[in-house]
Amino acid sequence: MGKEYIGEFEELVLLLIVMLKDDAYGLAIRKALKTQANRTVTIGAVHGTVNRLESKGFIRSSLGGATELRGGRRKRLFTITAAGKRALQKSRDVKVNLWNQIPELAINKL
């Protein structure tokens, strides 16, 4: 598997980071996984995945401001990079191509 390969869970996390925009941090991603994909995961699974995506160059992180609500802790916010967008597009294109090669399951026939 090359550096550009993303797994299904990584793809979900990347999509949610794009969707959440300026509110893409660990707990928000975890909550969105539950509401958007009906996936219940630990915060550790989210952190492991964002760390892996960042090491692949698909996302970057920055620290938000500290808040009293969080006991003075800062949120680690995530944004997608150009390489991350390309990885998502490639993943989508591969899947659409495969789906379209199965006539009874072609996307336009579902």
Residue 2 pLDDT > 80: no
Which carries the bigger pLDDT value, residue 52 or residue 68? Answer: 52
Compute the distance between CA of residue 105 and CA of residue 110 in angstroms, rounded to an integer: 6
Number of domains in the chain: 1
CATH number of the domain that residue 44 is part of: 1.10.10.10
Q: What is the mean pLDDT of the chain?
A: 90
Quote the pLDDT of residue 108: 61
Rounded to two decimals, the pTM is: 0.86
DSSP letters, 75-93, are EEEEEE-HHHHHHHHHHHH
> Is 33 inside any structural domain?
yes
C-alpha 73/C-alpha 53 separation (Å) is 23
Please check the confidence at residue 88 and state whether its pLDDT lies above 50: yes
Structural domain span for residue 73 = 8-109
pLDDT of residue 1: 42
Instruction: Tell me whether residue 2 is in a domain.
Output: no
With cut-offs at 50, 70 and 90, classify the pLDDT of residue 65.
confident
Nearest C-alpha neighbor of 10 from the set 44, 49, 61: 49
Within-domain flag for 92: yes
* Percentage above 70 pLDDT, the chain: 92
Q: In this predicted structure, what is the pLDDT of residue 68?
A: 73
Q: Is residue 49 one of the residues assigned to a domain?
A: yes
Q: Nearest CA to 49 among 78, 20, 82, 75? A: 78
Residue 28 belongs to a domain:
yes
Note whether residue 1 is domain-resident.
Answer: no
Q: What is the pLDDT of residue 64?
A: 84
Q: Are 6 and 91 in contact (CB under 8 A)?
A: yes
Residue 42's pLDDT band, with cuts at 50, 70 and 90, is: very high
Please tell me the distance from the alpha carbon of residue 60 to that of residue 42, in angstroms, as a whole number: 21
